[in-house]
Amino acid sequence: MTSIKDFLSKINTSPVVRSYVAMDRGYGFPMLSIVGDRLLVTVFYYRVLPRKDDKSLIMPPEYVLSFDYPSCRLANFEALRMSPRAEGVDFEKPVGTFRHDAIKDLDRAAYQAKKDELYALLDRLIANLGGEGEFTDEDERRLAALYQLLTEPSLHPAYRICAPQFFSRFIAE
């Protein structure tokens, strides 16, 4: 099975992302959605302007891409700058700063460890969706806790719009 980490690195080096997403954009945490009989992984890309002391500026997400799992085929592409859904958004205006309070006290290694744990749980969820292995209620609670801890609150509206069901199950407080 393709781990979500490999999956992400595969899509991020794919011609699609290379050619159509501007180079310096970072991406948010992946979200899952189910469309018909396909499992889609949705990611959005946005810019962070680095500043010292947890004051890096988070800019509004600009692209939303969904990929079919595990084939990595592009299933949807939306350039928010052009999308009616994002009418009125000032893309030159920061939406928040990185890092948010909840993770201020984590050092680099601890942050990475949480992230790895999230990805590992996500792998188990995906496996389970594919009919393999277990994904218990406890797992689900833990995964939700990690999403809630790690995702930037200022980006929550974006997460919600990209995958409403996933958002309400794993990210919404």
Per CB under 8 A, the segment of 4-12, 100-108, 112-120, 149-157 that binds other proteins is: 149-157
Measured distance CA(62)–CA(59) in Å, rounded = 9
Measured distance CA(151)–CA(27) in Å, rounded = 11
User: Does 166 contact other proteins by CB under 8 A?
Assistant: yes
User: In sequence order, which ranges of 105-173 are alpha helices (DSSP H)?
Assistant: 108-129, 137-150, 156-162, 164-166
Size of the site for other proteins (CB under 8 A): 64
Interacting residues with other proteins between 40 and 59 (CB under 8 A): 49, 51, 55, 57-58
For residue 149, give the 3-state DSSP assignment.
helix
Measured distance CA(79)–CA(23) in Å, rounded = 15
User: How many of the other CB atoms lie within 10 Å of CB of 152?
Assistant: 21
What values do phi and psi take at 30, rounded to 5? Answer: -70, 150
State which residue, 26 or 157, has the beta carbon closest to other proteins. 157
User: Does 131 contact other proteins by CB under 8 A?
Assistant: yes
Of 128, 142, 148, 149, the one binding other proteins by CB under 8 A: 128
Residues near other proteins (CB under 8 A) are 15-16, 18-23, 33-34, 36-39, 49, 51, 55, 57-58, 60-61, 63, 69-70, 74-83, 85-90, 93-97, 128-131, 144, 154-158, 160-161, 164-169, 172
